[in-house]
Structures are given as structure tokens and as C-alpha cells.
Structure 1
């Protein structure tokens, strides 16, 4: 797989996040907020709301672009955002599973850093 430039990485990230919003966005008790900062390369999908008396607040997905690589800081999905990005043509060597320890990253097919 070819290494993609920053513009292609941004487009892939936004596509994946928008797909998750469409897929998950039907819960009447919580709201999904897609937060995109293309200038600083931060991308978040937040879930906010209430379930009975329990507050829901947190990031489902947090992605940064650092040195031409996608850094997955948080992935709260079952399917795995990294797998969705690979399906869109992103090389596994351009994706860092930052939510895993350095030692665990070394035994994956994805970039270590």
C-alpha cells in the first residue's frame, strides 16, 4: 500500500467518523458530537447524555494526525477504527494504536510510532 498524504488521511478519518455517527446516532438518550479540528489535526467522536440517572460523557473515538501518521488515541468501537481505515486504503504502517502500550504495539500489524 502506498503512503497517503495528510489530505487523504484527513478525508479517510472524517469518512469513518461520519459513518459511525450515522450508524450509532439513533439513541434517544444520548447525543453524538463529531468534533473536527483540521488545523491542529484532532478528530473526536463524543457521546453525551443520560441513561436513567447515569451520566454519559466520553470520547468514543479520538484520532490525531502526527507526523503523517494516524494516531488512534481512543477506540471505543467493536469493529475497530483501524480496520475501517485500512478498508479505505490507509496502510497499517500509517496507523498507530496509541491506546495500546508500546510493547503491545510491537506485536500488531500496525505502526509502532
Structure 2
């Protein structure tokens, strides 16, 4: 598979996974799920916004970047793990970086180091 085709496939898979997660409504508060896809810069996020009682809720549930042909999971607060979902879709572990792990620890997690 050519690099451009691979990146397009990765973009599509990431968007599908985030879209699926966006359809799950939190059981608490008045929380909306917001998708942010920046295909030009290869930045993909799923945000939570709203209120839980008198407390403001805002932040990323998932943040993924594509850099140098690899998928960098910057943040993932899902139970199943986005990396597992990506590998289930056929993306090799060598193309997935768990950026939320310290660089010196990445050699032990079974995914790409960088």
C-alpha cells in the first residue's frame, strides 16, 4: 500500500472510531460529545462539553494525531482503548504510538516507540 493510500485509510478508520464513541451519551450531567477533525493537520479529537450539576465539564475524551506516517494517541480515556480498536481494524502496532506513555517506557508496551 502506498503512503498516501495508507494515510487516507488511517484517517478514515480514526474518524469512524471517534464517531462511534461520540454516539455514546454520558449517563451523568448534560454532556455533549463534540467531534473535531482537522484533516489538513491530521488532528482528531472527541471532546466532552457541558455541565454536571454546577460543575463545568470540558475536555478531550480522545486525542489522536498522525505524524510521520504513524498514529500518535495523545490521550485516551476510554475503557476499551483506542489502540486496541485500531489494531482490530488491521493497523499494525508498529504504526501506533502511545504518546501518553513516557518515551523510555514505550519499548515495553508492544506498540511503536516513535
Q: Answer whether TM exceeds 0.5 for this pair.
A: yes
Root mean square deviation, CA, Å = 1.5
Q: Please list, as runs of the form range in 1=range in 2, the aligned pairs for 1:5-84 lying within 5 A after superposition.
A: 5-22=6-23, 24-25=24-25, 27=27, 29-84=30-85
How far is the alpha carbon of 1:66 from its aligned partner?
0.1
Aligned residue pairs, count: 110
Consecutive unaligned residues in structure 1, runs of 5 or more: none
Task: Return the alpha-carbon distance in structure 2 between the equivalents of residues 85 and 64 of structure 1.
Answer: 13
Q: Provide Cα deviations, 1:32-89, integer angstroms capped at 9, x if missing partner.
A: 0000000110000000010011110100000000001000000011110000000011
Q: Secondary structure at the match of 1:93?
A: helix
Partner of 2:108: 107
Structure 1 moving runs of 4+ over 6 Å: none
Q: Secondary structure at the match of 1:100?
A: coil
Consecutive unaligned residues in structure 2, runs of 5 or more: none
Task: Return the alpha-carbon distance in structure 2 between the equivalents of residues 26 and 80 of structure 1.
Answer: 17
